[in-house]
A and B are shown apart, each in its own frame.
Chain A
Amino acid sequence: MASIDIQSIRKSFGTFPVLHGVDLAIRDGEFIVLVGPSGCGKSTLLRMIAGLEDVTAGEIRIDGKRVNDLAPKDRDIAMVFQSYALYPHMSVADNMSYSLRLRRAAREKIVSAVGGAAAKLGLEPLLERRPRALSGGQRQRVAMGRAIVRQPKAFLFDEPLSNLDARLREQMRAEIKKLHGDLRATSIYVTHDQIEAMTLADRIVAMHAGVVQQVGTPLDLYDRPANLFVAGFIGSPGMNFFEGRYAASGGEAALHLSNGTILPLGRRDGIAAGAPTTLGIRPEHVVLDPRGALEARVDLIEPTGFGIIMHVTIHDVPLKIFTLDRAMLDPGPAVRVDLPQERLHLFDGEGKRLD
C-alpha cells in the first residue's frame, strides 16, 4: 500500500490542453473518487497515474518515488477497466494469474493467491471458464480478482460499474466498499455517477473542464459545495438556482431576481449591494407549508415510489421540490413553499461560494 502525490499535473493532447494543473495528495489506504461529467479529464488523470498516458508537466509520486518516466509494469499498480479487458483466450484462473506468471512467481504462491482472490469474490466455480462464458457481473468480478491477486500498491478503477445494469451496479458497489474495508488498499476510482462517488469515497475530487473544483468528504461536497458546478453536480435531483442581484436594506438582505421577484435572505455580510449573486437550494430542503411565504404553480408531479419530485414555478422561475408527503401526489394547481434560511447557498458572480 502506498500514498500517491500528484503535483501540478498538466496534460495536453497535441496543443489541446485537457488538464490544467492538478494537485492532489492521496493518503495511504484512502479511497478517492474522481467525479465529473464526461470530458472533464478524470479518466486522463487516472491513466496518467497508471502510466498509460505521458505526463505533459508536473510530477506523480507513488510512495514518495517519482514515477513520471516509469513504465506501467514497473509502477506496481492494478487497474480495473470499464470494458473489464479480460484476456479472451485465457481461462478465468489464467486471467487472474497472468500478472504473477509474468513476474515468475512460484507455483504454490500463484495457486494460493488465485484461490484466495477467487474465494473472496465467489469465483471458485468459474475458474476454468473463458470470459465469453461469463455474465457481465461475473466478468466484472474477474476483473476485480485480477487486480487483487497481486496485492499492488494501489488500485485504479476506471468507471468499473457503468456497463452493469442498475441492480448489479448497486450490489457490486457494496462489494467494492466491503473489499476496500478488508484490504485497506489505496484506491482511486473514476466515475460520472454521483451516487457511486458519495457512497464509496473517503474523499471526493470533483472535476470540471480539466480543473479540480473541490476536494472533500462526500458530506462536505453535499453540505458546502465550493462553487456552482459542484452544487449542481452533487445531489439528485439537482440543486435549484435563482440568479439575481444582492440588496440589503436595514438588517434584512434580499435577492432581487431579474423579473422583479424579491427573495429574502436573512443577514449576510461582506456582499456588495447590487453584486450579481446566485442563490441555491436543494429540492429536498424546500419546505411545503400552507403558510409559506411564496406561492408556486404546480407544473408536473414525478412519483419515485420513495418520494415525489414536484416541478413548480415561482414567478416564472422553475423550481424542483422533493418531498416524502404522499398528499402531494395530488397537490392541486398551486402550493405554498418556504426556503429556509439555513439551507440556502449563495454564490458570487464567478460562481464561487459566499459565506
Chain B
Amino acid sequence: MRTSKLLLTVAHRFAILAYIVVALFPLFWLLKVSVTPNDLLYSEGVRMWPSRATFEHYTFVIAHSAFPTFFKNSLIVAGSTAVAVTILASLAGYALSRFRFRAKYWIVALMLITQMFPLVMLVAPIFKMLSPLGLTNSLTGLVIVYTAFNVPFATFLMQSFFDGIPKDLEEAAMIDGATQFVAFRQIILPLTLPGIAATLGFVFTAAWSELLFALMLISGNDAATFPVGLLTFVSKFSVDFGQMMAAGILALIPACLFFLLIQRYLVQGLTAGAVKG
C-alpha cells in the first residue's frame, strides 16, 4: 500500500518533469545560443553548452542596435492594449452576465463572428481604413487594432468570471444602499481580480508577440515593435543568431515580470466564504 503510493508519487513527479523539460527546452536553446560567441556557433557542432560563454551579444543589442526603441514601443503598445481591453471587457462582460437587454443574443453572435476570420484576410481593408486617418506607422493605430481584436474574447472571459460571482452579493449591496454601479465597483470588481489579472496577462502577451499587423501597419524603425525588430537581424546573406537570441531573451523579461506581478491574483480564490461553502 505504502510503496505503491510512493511509486505513484514518483511517477507523477517524473511525468511533470518530462513535461517541463519538453516545454522549456526551446527557451534553454534560446539562452544557449545567446551566450555562444560567434566563432563557436558553427564550429563546435551540437552541444548543450558552449565551451566559452559571452555576453557580447547582449551588450551589442542594448548599446548598438535600435532594440531599446522596439522594446519601449512594445511596452507602450502591449501595456495600453491590455489596460484598454480589460476595462472594456470588464464593463461588457458584466453587462452580458447580469443584464437582460434587447439584441443581447445578436451582439454575442456578432462578437463570435469577428473571431472566425483569419486575420490575413483583414490586413488590407484595415490598412485602407487606417491610412487616411494617419494611423498607419503609429503606435496608436496598433493599440486600436489590437484592442478591437482582443475585446470579444476578453469579454467572454470576463463574463465567465462575473457569472461565477453570486448575484446575491450585489443584491445585498443594493439593499444596503448602493447603486448598481457602486455595487459593481466596490463589491464585484474586487472579487474579480483573478479574472482581471488573467485578462490582463492574456491580452498583454497577445499584443506583445503580435507580428502580422505590426509588420503590415508599421514601416521604419521608429514605431516598430520588438517582433518586427527581430526581423532586422535577418539580412539578405546571413542571420545573426547570437544577437537575435539575446534580443529574444531580453523580450521575455517584461512578460515574465508581468506574470510574476499578477500571479498572486491568478491563483487566489477570493470568493471563498462569500456564500455557503
Contacts and interface: CB of A to CB of B under 8 A. Distances in A.
A272 interface: no
A83 B276 CA distance: 6
A73 interface: yes
A205 interface: no
Interface in B163-179: 166, 168-169, 171-179
B191 A99 contact: no
Contacts, number: 84
B47 to A, nearest CB: 53
B105 to A, nearest CB: 15
B270 A89 contact: yes
B21 interface: no
B191 A71 contact: no
Contacts of B276: 83-84, 136, 139, 163
B274 A131 contact: yes
Interface string A248-276: 00000000000000000000000000000
B177 A102 contact: yes
A103 B176 CA distance: 9
Interface of B: 166, 168-169, 171-179, 182, 187, 190-191, 270-277
Given A88-B273, A132-B272, A132-B273, A52 B177 contact: no
Which among A85, A98, A133 has the highest number of chain B CB atoms within 10 Å?
Answer: A85
A207 interface: no
B166 A83 contact: yes
Interface string A107-142: 000000000000000000000001111101001000
Given A52-B174, A98-B173, A134-B273, A83 B168 contact: yes
A86 B273 contact: yes
Using C-beta atoms within 8 Å of the partner chain, give the interface range for chain A.
Answer: 20 to 34
A55 interface: no
A102 B176 contact: yes
Given A52-B171, A102-B177, 13 more contacts: A50-B171, A51-B175, A52-B174, A73-B177, A73-B178, A73-B179, A77-B175, A78-B176, A83-B274, A83-B276, A88-B272, A102-B176, A146-B172
Given A73-B179, A98-B176, A88 B270 contact: yes
A130 to B, nearest CB: 6
For the complex of A and B, the 6 pairs showing the least CB-CB separation, nearest first, are A132-B273, A83-B275, A85-B168, A99-B176, A85-B172, A88-B274
Contacts of A134: 273
B181 to A, nearest CB: 12
Nearest to B178: A102
A84 B271 CA distance: 13
B81 to A, nearest CB: 28
A73 B174 contact: yes
20 contacts: A50-B175, A51-B174, A51-B175, A52-B171, A71-B174, A72-B171, A72-B175, A73-B174, A73-B175, A77-B175, A78-B176, A79-B171, A79-B175, A81-B172, A83-B276, A85-B275, A89-B190, A98-B173, A130-B273, A132-B277
A111 to B, nearest CB: 18
